[in-house]
Structure 1
Amino acid sequence: MSLIVMKFGGSSVGDPERMKRVAKRISERKQEGHQCVVVVSAMGDTTDDLIDLTKQICTTTPPAREMDMLLSTGEQVSVALLSMAIHSLGCSAVSFTGWQAGMYTEDVHGKARITDIQPERILKALDNDKIVIVAGFQGMTGEGEITTLGRGGSDTTAVALAAAIKADVCEIFTDVDGVYSTDPRIVRVARKLNEISYDEMLELANLGAAVLHPRAVEYAKNYNVPLVVRSSFNHNEGTKVKEEAVMEQGLAVRGIAYDKNVARISILGVEEKVGQLAKVFTALAKEQIDVDIIVQSGVMNGAADFSFTVSLSDKDKALQVIEGIRSTVGFREVTSQENLVKVSIVGAGMVSTPGVAAKMFEVISELGLSINMVSTSEIKTSCVIDGSRLIEVIQALHTAYGLDTDSQVFVGGPSERR
């Protein structure tokens, strides 16, 4: 008998029929003799619907605390219904909210990080032979305030719980058969990876691959949680995410990711003084704004220009922060650019294979596109380019690196949520 954590996203439980299918799958695992802890997201478009309600009620930005109170209700509906569905199949189940499950977070609303897990109620329910259903995406501060974990929060909940209760495996169920060499909705001949290393998966997740959230992969790597990504629509073998993965012969690049949530901000004519960059990025960090690629030009006439990327959703806030420090930094102007995309290649074999990045630059240039910004590490290269021809770029890179297969991928349904 093994202890399994299973996570199902919004599309997997998007309607009553899918909910019952998931309940049947969980019940079958229980009947095989396994202990099961299940983490569930809100059903289908529930979260988007709740956000739309706030727009009808509020003319200004709603308080972050109240948004967490509202959005956490979506998962509570899911866990209760799934528990009822499992009961109807003759198995005993109990549902917990994030705070009932002992999920403690920092005091940040909207994108809190987990600080501690006290899983005593979960372990007691397992000892009583129950299937445990836990609401993903949510937790509680030490002062009893409800928080949400932000995008990918249910993945993070599942992996963190698996680490806390020392589960034998954490299975992430999604709408495709596993991790692919790129988005199978763009490249239908994408290659399914039988296994991938934590480091490669973390890079892909950070660079836009939506199949797993970066924080979930970080937890898995830090606590050595065996992770499997598989489809909720069939019983095919998934992709194992592990410490070291076998690299397919001749494939230096294992995956291609993209991120459309990109904005470029340029600060022009910055006075050449010690500590200028520190002032800018410290101010952004205080407002919880993540900065990605940074490029600085040479100094001319005592001033320099530099550019950086942020999430498109953070662009307006970042511009406000920069204008707020104009008097202390001193610059001529600040500009921004949208309609961009960050395209990245990832592979552990890149470190020992010359010419990998050069091929990427060549492919993009042959399509007549300019590269605005570049970022590299040992196992990835990212380019920020115009977003209007994303599909062409992804398809061309996929072919150039020998990742195409002979058969097309079956994509089971809409993209998972949270």
Structure 2
Amino acid sequence: MARMVQKFGGTSVGSVERIQNVANRVAQTVAAGNQVIVVVSAMGHTTDELIDLARQITPEPQAREMDMLLTTGEQISIALLAMALQQKGISAYSFTGWQAGIVTEPVHSKARIMDIDPRRLIDTVASGSVAIVAGFQGWTIDREITTLGRGGSDTTAVALAAAVQADVCEIYTDVDGVYSTDPRIVPFARKIQEISYDEMLELAHLGAAVLHPRAVEYAKQYHVPLMVRSSFSQVEGTYVKEVAQMEKGLVVRGIAYDTNVAKVGLVGVPNRVENLKIVFQSLAKESINVDIIVQSIVQNDVGDISFTITKDDRKRTMEILEQLKDQIGAQAYVFEEDLAKVSIVGAGMISNPGVAADMFQALIDHNIQIKMVSTSEIKVSCVIESGLAKQAMQILHTAFALDAVQQHEEAAVV
């Protein structure tokens, strides 16, 4: 007997028919003798519809009331799934995030999980029932309802798996695993059988949408084995674990891209460490994440500072820099959008020098200008024009021998 957490996203529970399909999968897992905790998202586009309703009332709804509103979406899903299982003769109970013992920090719309009391869930599954938990939500020690932000249901599932000491956490989605890149852009993308936490975390941070970074962080921290698989087929998915078996000859495991990128430039800044501290400390206080940072000294100990942020943070960043411009002695600040970040990821880079050079050469050979570069032990990221991102992904996928041979052969037959 194994204890399992299964998470189903909004697409997987997007209709009554799909909820019945999820119920069938859960029933199969129970029939195999397993204890099962299920985490579900809101049905289909329910969250977007609730946001739209709020904005019809007010253009700037209060964060507390938005959390109160948005958490109702998952409550619909858990109740309907419980009913579907009960109809099949399987004992099942639905739980909101707070009923499941999930305690978060006191931040609305993007709270982090601080603690979980899993006793109620453990008692439920130990008695032979299925526990169905609403993803994306929790409450504070002051009993204020909160939401976890983007990827919240993934995070809920992995955190619960750690809390109940589950043998595996299965993430069901609309794709049948983790691919070397987005197969909608690169038709010859290959499914990865195994990938390490570190590689998956890099890919998730860099734009791969199959798993949220916070969920992978939890899995790595608490050693929770993950399986990413499709809700709509029985195909074996991708295992995410501590150390993954390397495919022979592959230094790069995956390619990610992100078009939510803006470049900020501070022009003519006196070269003082205090100026860097003032700028980035001020941005951090407003929860603005800065990615790539480049400082260049032009002349007379005065230079430029460039860094990247998300497009979503542009307005607030402009306000902050306007306030800081005179304090740090900057001549001006500029923004550049229509950018994308294309990244290669692979644990094999650690022991294989020259990977970055190969990436640069592949892009240069196709006249793709590189505006900024960021590296770590297992990734290299290049900022380029957004209109060239898809072409760059295809070029790099082929350059690093990631194209699926079988798919090439099938295409040739056609």
* Superposition TM-score tier, normalisation by shorter sequence: over 0.9
Q: Give the aligned partner of residue 379 of structure 1.
A: 378
SS at match of 1:17: helix
Matches within 5 A, 1:353-392: 353-392=352-391
- CA offset digits 1:281-311 (Å, max 9, x no partner): 1111111111111111114234221111111
Q: Give the aligned partner of residue 177 of structure 1.
A: 176
SS at match of 2:380: strand
Distance apart, 1:237 and its partner CA: 0.9
Provide the rounded CA distance (Å) in 2 between the counterparts of 1:390 and 1:3: 42
Q: Give the aligned partner of residue 245 of structure 2.
A: 246
Q: Give the aligned partner of residue 412 of structure 1.
A: none
The alignment's TM-score, normalised by the length of structure 1, stands at 0.95
Contact 1:6–1:158 at 8 Å: present in 2 too? yes
Q: Give the aligned partner of residue 18 of structure 2.
A: 18
Provide the rounded CA distance (Å) in 2 between the counterparts of 1:144 and 1:304: 50
The alignment's TM-score, normalised by the length of structure 2, stands at 0.96
Matches within 5 A, 1:64-143: 64-143=63-142
Provide the rounded CA distance (Å) in 1 between the counterparts of 2:251 and 2:389: 22
Provide the rounded CA distance (Å) in 1 between the counterparts of 2:196 and 2:314: 32
Contact 1:272–1:299 at 8 Å: present in 2 too? no
Tell me, yes or no, if structure 1 residue 344 matches structure 2 residue 308. no
Matches within 5 A, 1:2-401: 2-59=2-59, 61-401=60-400
Contact 2:194–2:241 at 8 Å: present in 1 too? yes
Distance apart, 1:214 and its partner CA: 0.8
Provide the rounded CA distance (Å) in 2 between the counterparts of 1:311 and 1:151: 15
Provide the aligned C-alpha RMSD in A.
1.3
Once the two structures are overlaid, the 10-residue window that deviates more, 300-309 or 290-299, is: 300-309
4+ long deviations beyond 6 Å: none
Contact 2:260–2:340 at 8 Å: present in 1 too? yes
- CA offset digits 1:31-70 (Å, max 9, x no partner): 11111000101111111111122222213x2211111111
Cα 1:274–1:193 shift into 2, 3 Å: closer
SS at match of 1:321: helix
Cα 1:354–1:274 shift into 2, 3 Å: closer
Contact 2:229–2:237 at 8 Å: present in 1 too? yes
- CA offset digits 1:222-253 (Å, max 9, x no partner): 11111111111111111111111111111000
Contact 2:372–2:383 at 8 Å: present in 1 too? yes
Query: Which runs of 5 or more structure 1 residues have no equivalent in the other structure?
Result: 410-418
Aligned amino acid, residue 391 of structure 2: E
- CA offset digits 1:68-109 (Å, max 9, x no partner): 111111111111111111111111111111111111111111
Provide the rounded CA distance (Å) in 1 between the counterparts of 2:298 and 2:100: 55
Provide the rounded CA distance (Å) in 2 between the counterparts of 1:63 and 1:115: 23
Question: Could you tell me the percent identity over the aligned residues?
Answer: 61
Aligned amino acid, residue 243 of structure 2: E
Provide the rounded CA distance (Å) in 1 between the counterparts of 2:47 and 2:362: 39
Distance apart, 1:408 and its partner CA: 4.4
